[in-house]
Amino acid sequence: MLDRALPVLDVQGLKTVFKTRGGEVHAVNNVSFDLKAGELLGVVGESGSGKSVTMMSLLGLLPMPPAEIRAGSVMFDGEDLLNVSQEKLRSVRGGKIGFVFQDPMTSLNPVFPVGYQIAEPLRKHMGMSKKDAAIRAKELLELVGIPDADQRLLDYPHQFSGGMRQRVMIAIALACDPQVLIADEPTTALDVTIQAQILELMKELRDKLGMAVIWITHDLGVIAGIADRVMVMYGGQVVEHAPVQELFTNPQHPYTSALLKTIPSISGERAARLTVIEGQPPLVVGPPTACPFRDRCAKAMPVCALKVPPRYEIGEGHDTACFLADPLEVANAG
């Protein structure tokens, strides 16, 4: 078995900004996390909370300019991905780290057959011949559950349904047996039945192939069913991070608690209304100077407007970026 204690990916203090006419947008602020082999890390947060930008920063997939990575390190395979040559970075992309994107309808190139698109990384990273790549591409399509793989290799993306296209995307991401798979809202654009199928498929593949997965979503229901650990992001920061069981039973950050209340339940008494979190998520222009959630937080204290809360360790693998976790700050406020 894989050594589960050893992190394959270690991100420290990542900062990404976008230069716009209205000023610098600090999309990712001091984000740190690690990922252990064979583990599934869920990343949740509203739209614009910096989930996708964080993951794209890791592999240099953001258009630069306007994006710029200010600080941080991304340790993978003994090297800092933010400081390696383009050549080296390309060999990691698609080779050792696979990426599945949100919208399967537009993520495949419409003018090339899917077989060609799956074979591309195989030929580049594994140095396979055309013939070997075609054989492997067929295996991959079968692996992700596409029937008639032989025939379908020659089909173009428009001949596949949305769910099937996402399977093709997953096949591309898995092509070179990656150590890490980053799935950026892979089921958001799909209907629930297909979503369930893709989730099942991912769980199965992770157990079979033993890779680590980062699963980005804004659907907590999905996270509950699939993740080992969860990282909650808000306003470009990690606000809470805990093992999945712990997060759902003992949320510490007011944002996490509020988020959990928004999940509609089909069991128990029918709620009169669905709970919503009042207000808008912030657009962080300029470096953050306070807690990003303070304006929408029911338990905000004066200190929340004065400085950025650090991440307080409050249990085994559980931390939260909230002053409520600091007895000293609570005493001051009280």
Partner 1 sequence: MLTFTIRRLLLSIPTLLFIAFVIFMLLELAPGDPMAQMPLTIPPEVKEKMRLALGLGEPWWVRFPLWLKQFFIVEPQYWIDGIFGTNFADGAQRIISFQSRSPVFETIAQRMPQTLWVVGMSYVVGVLIALPIGIISAYKQYSVFDQTGTFVSMIGFSVPPFFSGVLLIVIFSVQLKWLPSIYDTTHQVTSWDTFLFQLKQMIMPVMVLALQTTAQVSRYMRASMLDNLGQDYVRTARAKGMTESVVVMKHVLRNSMIPVVTVIALGIPAIFGGAIITEQIFKVNGLGQLLIIALQGNDIPMVMTITFLLAVLIVMMNLIADILYGILDPRIRYD
Residue 92 lies near partner 1 (rule: CB under 8 A) = yes
Residue 206 lies near partner 1 (rule: CB under 8 A) = no
Residue 183 lies near partner 1 (rule: CB under 8 A) = no
Minimum CB separation of residue 13 from partner 1 in Å reads 24
Give the residue among 192, 203, 132, 193 at the shortest CA–CA distance from 170.
203
**Residue 189 DSSP symbol:** T
Residue 112 lies near partner 1 (rule: CB under 8 A) = yes
Residue 130 lies near partner 1 (rule: CB under 8 A) = no
Q: Which is nearer to partner 1, 17 or 92 (CB)?
A: 92
Question: Which of 15, 26, 36, 93: binder of partner 1 (CB under 8 A)?
Answer: 93
| Cα 147 to chain centroid, rounded | 29
Residue 188 lies near partner 1 (rule: CB under 8 A) = no
Give the residue among 328, 273, 333 at the shortest CA–CA distance from 297.
333
Minimum CB separation of residue 71 from partner 1 in Å reads 23
Give the residue among 109, 108, 100, 102 at the shortest CA–CA distance from 189.
102
Residue 50 lies near partner 1 (rule: CB under 8 A) = no
Q: How many residues does the chain have?
A: 334
CA torsion angle 246 290 44 268 (round to 10) = 60
Residue 79 lies near partner 1 (rule: CB under 8 A) = no
Residue 101 lies near partner 1 (rule: CB under 8 A) = yes
Residues of span 134-163 touching partner 1 by CB under 8 A: 156, 158
CA dist list (Å): 125 to 30, 57, 60, 98, 132: 32, 21, 18, 12, 13
Question: Which of 3, 21, 78, 110: binder of partner 1 (CB under 8 A)?
Answer: 110
Minimum CB separation of residue 26 from partner 1 in Å reads 22
57: left (phi over 0), alpha (psi -120 to 50) or beta: alpha
CA distance 270 to 64: 48
Q: Which is nearer to partner 1, 74 or 284 (CB)?
A: 74
Question: Which of 25, 44, 61, 231: binder of partner 1 (CB under 8 A)?
Answer: 61
CA torsion angle 156 186 164 129 (round to 10) = 50
Question: Which of 38, 72, 121, 292: binder of partner 1 (CB under 8 A)?
Answer: 121
Residue 178 lies near partner 1 (rule: CB under 8 A) = no
DSSP 82-103: GGS-HHHHHHHBTTTEEEE-S-
Residues that bind partner 1 (CB under 8 A): 59, 61, 90-95, 99, 101, 103, 106-113, 120-121, 124-125, 156, 158, 169, 172
